Structure 1
Amino acid sequence: MTTLTGPRLRLRPLTADDAPLLVAAASDGELWRSPFTVIPSADTVAAYLDKALGGLAQGHMLPFAIEAQASGQVIGSTRFWKIDHANRKLEIGGSWLGLQWQGGFANPEAKWLMLSYAFDQLRCVRVQFTTDVLNERSRAAILKLGAVEEGIIRHERIMPDGRLRDSLRFSMLDHEWPAARDRLLTRLAHFD
């Protein structure tokens, strides 16, 4: 599996040994309490990793640990999933960052690395994103990447608390990537 390396971040393959590192990263803000997505706690990290590594073994998921290069600290996780080689498309999702890493360079750099790999290496024609209809912060971040909102998928999944989640679907197409890449690189330059 591929490691994606940027100026400040490294997205490396997630392993079973990452359990305590993921819990430590999610402890920054007790992120497992999020009503919008599944983020591992000490009680749920084994199931979280089983799902991610099972998806990797089945060939439809590439899960990553997000590391700060300067310290080697795991600060979150993300993945490619719903990988469809025949139709050259995938989804970027399951993304989360420890609280202190939110709102800075980490999310745009991670997405730049992933989108670059998806479009420039895997030759995807479509990359999609899905977020909880209630998660306005995530929606704003996805739009800021240059993705296009496509609509609401009703009762798209059942959350751990039993809530039937409506989700917003976004996409970026291969011909939209060059302009989005330029905007992302301009944003990232402000963090130098």
Structure 2
Amino acid sequence: MKPYTFLFIIALFCHMNFVNAQETRPLPFADISTYPDSFSPGTVAARMVESLGFRYRYATQGLQDENMDFKASDDARSIGKTLLHIYDLSIVIHNAVLETPYTKLAETSPMEAREESLHLLKAVYDRLVSMDDAEIAAVKVRGEHPLWILINGPLADALWHSGQVATLRRAAGNPMPKGVNVFLGKYSGEVKE
């Protein structure tokens, strides 16, 4: 075997492992029953994002391709379009809190957008939980609006739409998985990605 062939095989193997690792990274927010010991602006904001992540994860777990076009009426947004909208809101939340802006994927399915949204929200959570008061005060939405707008704007909107997804999927005949306890932030069912 020529040395170049051997190097090519190793490079291909490494690339395949990298791609496989990217595809199988576990989704965050499976359980949020633990929380910080202290209150600060950062930990409270982080908990709000964590709560969104938990609710969104289980509102969308187990959705099928056939559910994506379901909508309550002709002029309403479908489940799939709602997931894509939550992805857009997650990008706004992410870009307000993290210094490195996220660039939206050009083409993505609703379930790919779901996964990407959850990972974006996890990055936001990780950053917020470690921010001090001055860093929290410096958060700007779209470069000009304070953290308050992040809370009542994209964060509350994403929570609202997560509830819509839960309602729509029930109406479509595919209710949320049993075992989700939003009060305690626990899930007692089978965790699926």
TM-score of the aligned structures, taking structure 1 as reference length = 0.25
User: Whose strand fraction is larger, Structure 1's or Structure 2's?
Assistant: 1
TM-score by length of 2: 0.25
Larger RCO of the pair (alpha carbons < 8 Å, separation 6+): 2
Larger-Rg structure: 2
